[in-house]
Chain A
């Protein structure tokens, strides 16, 4: 069964490796460039000495440079990759067998169909986890200098750092497998899975934006009359470069700041990843459970 699974997903595996290489080349090039700029600008020294307060202009120009058009292609790609790829791998797994009638061949050999499905799901899930983890690793390495200076609590890069990318990939995959079983059609399953995947994806985007359930509030005494304090200040009014400031109001001699602390990055990742994984597990579990009912 391991060989069969490999052979049936060989093309997809090659496409994934190709995609990874493309992303890796881009990540290594921009990562190296970022590091040389970072050192040339003396940003490391500035950060160590003043936490960013001493060189706001340099930080702003660095962030602008590397979040602008340069990063655009791969950033846009990484928005769609988990949904497209997951749906494209998951949709045909059952959809194509049922559409082309090859299920009658596959499931009349001496491997019971539940075992067939579980083996396929296990191996393909493993492959997707490796792919997701590898893309996350190169992108995180590449963006390390930028992440020291900017906010990673919002997509991008929230959607391709930490657990997000891998988990949302698995979510789209699970939805694809289930849709294939229900629709018995490859293209239909892929489309249905992609659009269904948009729901948790948008939910996660909202979690890091308007639905900021993890935000904190801090009261900060004003210095210099609080002039110019805003949500866009560099460094943020909270004094920590990674914090996402959501709202600043002035109350007497204090600033009331509502913000998402950078320290909550992993908590937020766990929530997002957990949501994606729960949907993936529910979809795959339903597919395994429904397999008997839908095909006998």
Chain B
């Protein structure tokens, strides 16, 4: 597998997945550079699991294609499977197996398996190798699953709700392990989660899904600098603002607008509008604002991407 500079670790090109009559994911396009830690955020049914399952070839897209390190992810091929370590939601394991047997399974099904890593990680976590999976706590099961995904030693690690069943301490440790693996080996990680505050600490890339559409995607720094909280006199129409309104709260005299805006344009606008005040936007605030908007793809919805450019209509007609 090549990891030449500039080849995205994970890219989606107009990806869609239809389940019978319903689109679970539609018109999803992005490219994530290698070495990123990507947060994938969205409510239940937003298409997060669908997207992650497509990276490892568990699902095939109905339209478009997903590529991992420049090669199209194809369902049922060993090369696609070898490029991605996948931790499924609810961390499925064989309940009757012992922990050692789960690791044996990993070893016999993955040529690149790192048994030393798997064993030392499980032992460090204090999980007895001879215990049956069904007798472990939910958190321990999640740790065994993560261990299996890490020991597969694939260059992309896709985690679907990995911390949902962990207590707060275990969550922190878990996230720390993921970050350490990413830093040590240049692993690219994509994590689907509801817990926005935890992603904030972890991620340098963000994908926000809602209603099967990509609402927002980009490097976290770019996204934060490309948005601002602007306080303007009330009744200032959206059309007068220098960017795209993502959310707006009106109080008695002022309106607070979360704006997708180019920093230079914002600075220019501020210099000639003395009544306006701009503040940087927080990670969680930004994510929530995009999640609260009606999902794109509903015909009346605004369509704004991180750079503030208007793509209105494109998503609707595709």
Interface positions of A (Cβ within 8 A of B): 1-4, 7-8, 11, 100-115, 292, 296
Q: How far is the CA of A99 from the CA of B97 in the complex (A)?
A: 17
- Rounded to whole angstroms, the CA-CA distance of A285 and B185 in the bound complex is 43
Q: Which residues of A contact B88 (CB under 8 A)?
A: 101, 104-105, 108
B226 at the interface (CB under 8 A from A): no
Give the chain A neighbours of B23 by CB distance below 8 A.
none
A292–B75 CB distance below 8 A: yes
| A8 and B94 within 8 A (CB) | yes
Q: Which of A1, A2, A101, A296 contacts B59 (CB 8 A)?
A: A296
A3 near B104: Cβ-Cβ < 8 Å: yes
Contact with A along B83-118 (1 / 0, CB 8 A): 010101010111111000100111011111000000
Give A5 to B76 CA distance when docked, in angstroms. Answer: 19
CB contact between B81 and one of A4, A104, A110, A296 (< 8 Å): that residue: A110
Size of interface on B: residues with Cβ below 8 Å to A: 33
Residue of A nearest to B154 (CB): A110
Contact A3 B92 (CB under 8 A): no
Return the chain A residue nearest B61 by Cβ.
A296
Interchain CA distance A112-B110 in the complex, whole Å: 11
Given contact pairs A101-B88, A112-B77, A107 touches B58 in the complex (Cβ within 8 A): yes
Q: Find the residue from B56, B104, B109, B112 having the highest chain A CB count within 10 A.
A: B109
Give every chain B residue within 8 A of A11 (Cβ-Cβ).
Answer: 96
Complexed CA–CA distance, A101 and B56 (Å): 16
Pick from A4, A100, A108, A115: contact of B105, CB below 8 A.
A4
* CB contact list, B107-147 vs A, under 8 A: 108-112, 145
Most chain A Cβ neighbours within 10 Å, of B76, B86, B110 = B76
The interface bits of chain B over 232-250 (1 if a CB of A lies within 8 angstroms of the residue's CB, else 0) are 0000000000000000000
Q: Name 6 extra pairs, CB < 8 A, besides A108-B86, A108-B88.
A: A103-B92, A105-B94, A108-B84, A110-B78, A112-B76, A296-B58
On chain A, the residues within 8 Å of B53 by CB distance are: 104
**CB of B150 within 8 A of chain A?**
no
Contacts of B104 in A (CB 8 A): 3, 7
CB neighbours of A4 from chain B (8 A): 105, 108-109
A110 pairs with B111, CB closer than 8 A:
yes
Q: Which residue of B lies closest to A111 (CB)?
A: B109
- B302 → A minimal CB distance (Å): 34
Which residue in chain A gives the minimum CB-CB distance to B85? A108
Set B58, B90, B94, B111: member contacting A108, Cβ < 8 A: B58
Residues of A within 8 A of B109 (CB): 1, 4, 106, 109-111
* Minimum Cβ distance to chain A for residue B138 (Å): 14
A15 to B: closest C-beta gap in Å: 14
Whether B92 pairs with A110 at a CB distance below 8 angstroms is no
Nearest chain B CB to A163 CB, angstrom units: 34
- Cα(A101)–Cα(B90), bound, Å: 9
B60 at the interface (CB under 8 A from A): yes
CB distance from B87 to the nearest CB of A (A): 9
B69 to chain A, nearest CB (A): 15
Q: Is B82 an interface residue (CB 8 A)?
A: yes
User: Which residue of the partner chain A has the closest CB to B148?
Assistant: A105
